Amino acid sequence: MAKIKLEYIWLDGYYPTQNMRSKTKVEEHENFQGTVEELGLWSFDGSSTQQASGGSSDCILKPVAIYPDPQRINGWLVMTEVMNADGTPHESNARATIEDDDNDFWFGFEQEYFIMSTETELPLGFPRGGYPAPQGMYYCSVGGLHTHGRDLVEEHADLCIDAGLNFEGINQEVASGQWEFQLFAKGAKKAGDEIWVARYLLDRLTEGRGMYIEYHPKPLGDTDWNGSGMHANFSNTILRTCGSKEKYAEICEAFRPVTKEHIEVYGEFNEQRLTGKHETAAITDFSWGVSDRGASIRIPIIAVEKGYKGWLEDRRPSSNADPYKVAARIIKTVKPIK
């Protein structure tokens, strides 16, 4: 019998921005295969996470995905859903609202973030009481003058790959200390699981390093520095195969009357980022266009060159958005279109 360490990860009840929580369960297994089916339910004190009252505090953790933990011997990362004691989804459980049981929807999320210094509470590369050189040379840069935090970013990429996540790339972004990673999955729930596990690995990696990760979409306030998003690239069978410019237009236009409903779940403080500047559309507007990074929804030029077979990119979700909520809302808009 071998002892294994299972890190149960869940989202708390803080609103509108949920936080990750986790705790370790040590179990003995004779021949553990690393499957969800081998895992049991667990409970936690919901009164400490704004998910229950003290008089009835138990909430249930239901495992939904498992990945090897590259930083632990005999360790596993377990993504869970929060359930009520009666087995129904907790009101904070957005994963349970995704209507994609057949995995027809594919999602690729582009997660932007800032690496912050705990000493200065500023992004890496920012001097205390001032600013570094203006934007322009940081995007996809190389060299110590403009590139800050690469060691952390490279280590995070290796951890995600070793954990078995479908990790697709990294790059430095437009502002100093700002980076991005990309993940893709066939199935909306799987895509959300992998973003949350990747965020968990990134956050845990900063512990003891004098750094933390900032997911706020505009951490530098009302300045000329770019904010951070979590662009959602998505497709279903229709988008992947239709070969119709008119169908793409129909799907894009379906987002217009529900702009408010999308913005409501696209992240807190997003109005500070979606100003119509810095490669964004204004939060009060809706637009779409081919290869237009200033639009709400971009039709990638590759999809057009393939005869309108591919995907769409919703550029509005913020860096602190919940991928479960983003995916659920996009599916609700797109799924009825035949």
Report the CATH number that the domain containing residue 308 is assigned in CATH: 3.30.590.10
Residues 317 and 273 in one domain: yes
pLDDT at 54: 77
Q: What are phi and psi of 28, to 5 degrees?
A: -100, 130
pLDDT at 277: 87
Residues 75 and 118 in one domain: no
Tokens of 159: 């951890």
pLDDT at 145: 95
pLDDT at 222: 86
Number of domains in the chain: 2
Give the chain's residues under pLDDT 50.
Answer: none
Residues 155 and 89 in one domain: no
Distance in angstroms (rounded) separating the CA atoms of residues 130 and 109: 32
Residue at 178 is within a domain: yes
Residue at 175 is within a domain: yes
Residues 54 and 114 in one domain: no
Residue at 12 is within a domain: yes
Residue at 99 is within a domain: no
Q: Which of 93, 128, 145 is the last residue of a domain?
A: 93
Tokens of 312: 């769409």
Residue at 101 is within a domain: no
Residue at 179 is within a domain: yes
pLDDT at 55: 79
The CATH number assigned to the domain holding 41 equals 3.10.20.70
Distance in angstroms (rounded) separating the CA atoms of residues 39 and 27: 10
Could you give the C-alpha distances from 160 to 44, 103, 165, 170, 196, in angstroms and in order? 27, 22, 6, 11, 11
Distance in angstroms (rounded) separating the CA atoms of residues 334 and 338: 9
Residues 63 and 113 in one domain: no
Residues 83 and 111 in one domain: no
Residues 322 and 258 in one domain: yes
Domain of residue 13, residue span: 2-93
Could you give the C-alpha distances from 307 to 20, 77, 251, in angstroms and in order? 41, 41, 16
Residues 57 and 181 in one domain: no
Residues 14 and 142 in one domain: no
Residues 195 and 293 in one domain: yes
Count of CB atoms situated within 10 Å of the CB of 117: 19
pLDDT at 148: 97
Residues 81 and 122 in one domain: no
Q: Which of 29, 59, 93 is the last residue of a domain?
A: 93
Return all residues near 122 (Cβ < 8 A) that are at least 6 apart: 116, 128, 177
Residue at 73 is within a domain: yes
Q: Which of 93, 120, 143 is the last residue of a domain?
A: 93
Q: What pTM, to 2 d.p., does this model score?
A: 0.97
Distance in angstroms (rounded) separating the CA atoms of residues 189 and 109: 12
Residues 217 and 116 in one domain: yes
Residue at 205 is within a domain: yes
